[in-house]
Amino acid sequence: MAIMGVHDAMDVLGGKWKISIITCLLFGPRRYSEILRDVSGISGKVLSRELKELEINVLIERSVSESAPISVTYSLTEYGESVTPVITVLSGWGQEHRSTIKAKR
């Protein structure tokens, strides 16, 4: 059933921050501090938890450089990039919704 697919997708992508983190990573690999800066309003503790969940669900990968100082970067996996059309549709709908609400006021 379609409802189960929506349930599964929301289980992985739901919440306040996951879509924003994925959208941030659509622009390329980012270090933790860059994601923290770019995703306005997220706390460090929540970002760490969300990154771990996205990694468990194979949407992002964590890369640790061997150079000194050690650098950790996060990037979308090929599978994670498959969420791009969903984000594009959500973005379009969000812009349309914002215009509709403004027009009603």
Give pLDDT, residue 7. Answer: 92
Give pLDDT, residue 66. Answer: 85
Q: Tell me the pLDDT tens digit for each residue of 8-67.
A: 999 999 999 999 999 999 999 999 999 999 999 999 999 999 999 999 999 999 999 988
Using the predicted structure, report yes or no on whether residue 94 has a pLDDT greater than 70.
Answer: yes
Using CB atoms within 10 Å of the CB of residue 83, give its burial: 0 to 12 exposed, 13 to 18 middle, 19+ buried.
buried
- The band of 74, judged by pLDDT with boundaries at 50, 70 and 90, is very high
Give pLDDT, residue 61. Answer: 98
- Cβ proximity of 77 and 62 under 8 Å: no
Structure tokens at 79: 């599978």
Give pLDDT, residue 1. Answer: 66
Helix (H) or strand (E) holding 67: none
Give pLDDT, residue 59. Answer: 98
Strand 72-76, strand 60-64: pairing:
antiparallel
